[in-house]
Amino acid sequence: MNFEKTSFAFFIVLALTLNFGFFIGDIDNPAHHDAMELGAALVVSIIATILKFGDRSSMGAVFLATSLVADLQLLLAAIFWGLAISNGGVTPEVVARVVSLSGGALLANLVSVTLLVAEAIVYRR
């Protein structure tokens, strides 16, 4: 068992599940989306990205790129959410924008997990 690959797989799957938990629900209803879950998805996604620094393989570059995309979209979603709170409240339009960005990050995380599973299937000893 490779500890580095196991820890990356753990964090990328955890980021995917946390992001999915935030994404699910009516797109413009703030009660269906938890800001803490968005924050947790962002932190876990950043940890997964840090774990891929230094991997010089071509698959590692793809993992890093997809993780950076997910990080960027989750970071923008968190910024929009924070700005909305500081400007008086979260409107349905803001929630829709945040959930849309989270959906993009969810897609990037899904690509990472799909590639991870494909790599595990073709891995030969």
Percent of all residues in the chain with a pLDDT value above 90, rounded to a whole number: 78
Give residue-wise pLDDT tens across range 47-101: 999 998 888 888 889 999 999 999 999 999 999 999 999 998 889 999 999 999 9
Of the pLDDT bands very low, low, confident and very high (cuts 50, 70, 90), residue 125 is low
Where are the domains positioned within the chain?
Answer: 3-123
How far apart CA 22 and CA 34 sit, in angstroms, is 6
pLDDT at position 58: 87
pLDDT at position 64: 93
How far apart CA 28 and CA 110 sit, in angstroms, is 23
Global pTM? 0.90
Among the listed residues 32, 17, 21, the one whose alpha carbon sits nearest the alpha carbon of residue 95: 32
pLDDT at position 113: 95
pLDDT at position 56: 83
Concatenated DSSP letters for 9-44?
Answer: HHHHHHHHHHHHHHH-S-TT-GGGS-HHHHHHHHHH
Let me know: does 87 contact 122? Beta carbons within 8 Å: no
pLDDT at position 4: 84
